[in-house]
Amino acid sequence: MPKVKIKRKSTLVDMTAMCDVAFLLLTFFILTSKFRPQDPVEINMPASVSERKIADADIMIMQIDKEGRAYLGTDNQMVRQRALEVMLRTNPYASYKDKFATEEIMAAFKKTESFGAPFPMIPDIMSGKIANDGKHTPGIPVDSLKSPVRRNELGDWLVAFRQAHLELANEKADGQLKMSTYNYIRLAIKGDGLTEYPEVEKIFNTLKDRSINKFDLITNMKGGETASKSDD
């Protein structure tokens, strides 16, 4: 019998549709990605062997530069806004309520990842009159004698952030939040390796006074990865 000749087919594959899908996916990821904002100050973290990776949600991050200046922020915009409202409900911060009265100031603070300045200076930072960086901001006062309102403002902000997170969690639970299942917003400290001990001691004393006994220390792992070590 004669051999059956198999008709050869072209090995060419039209990749047009595949390329279109690839570019659509690439465009989607570019438009939806959230880039990490630049820190107000440069922090050279010490290296260590870490126990675990740092959490990426429901966390406050405190930055301490080599001069001992403290900067504070959180990953949650709603917590930021509510924390400011908590501060404005208490004295002596309530006396500055008029300076925060505009929607632009409140919206700008809500979008600000991290800040470090005395409370009366914050409206000028949010309006753009003062740059939100280490060159123009002195950090959040830890010493009440250096605060315009004569308060340990860092301690007050930490309490406000925790109160804000608790209030929002309770609202989400329709006022039926069970404290036995509630997880407080976690604090992570990112300190410069050259910070003098007396400045660090002030920060730790502030945490102790505000009953914040659990926090993470952010360090550089050997190999360059960012991680945290728990301090319970």
pLDDT number for residue 145: 93
Q: Is 135 within a domain?
A: yes
pLDDT number for residue 11: 63
Residues 6+ apart with CB under 8 A from 35: none
> For residues 204 and 195, what is the distance between their CA atoms, to the nearest angstrom?
13
Q: Is 27 within a domain?
A: no
Q: Is 25 within a domain?
A: no
Q: Of the candidates 44, 41, 93, 110, which has an alpha carbon nearest to the alpha carbon of residue 71?
A: 41
Tens of each residue's pLDDT in the chain, 232 residues: 566 666 666 566 666 777 777 777 778 767 766 555 555 555 555 555 555 666 677 899 999 998 999 999 998 999 999 999 999 999 999 999 999 989 999 999 999 999 999 999 999 999 999 999 888 899 999 999 999 999 999 999 999 999 999 999 999 999 999 999 898 899 999 888 888 889 999 999 999 999 999 888 887 655 445 555 555 5
Question: What's the total number of domains in the chain?
Answer: 1
Q: Is 17 within a domain?
A: no
Strands (E), the chain: 47-48, 59-64, 70-74, 114-115, 186-191, 215-221, 226-231
Instruction: Domain of residue 191: give its range.
Output: 47-231
pLDDT number for residue 22: 79
Q: Of the candidates 215, 205, 141, 217, which has an alpha carbon nearest to the alpha carbon of residue 185?
A: 215
> For residues 66 and 34, what is the distance between their CA atoms, to the nearest angstrom?
28
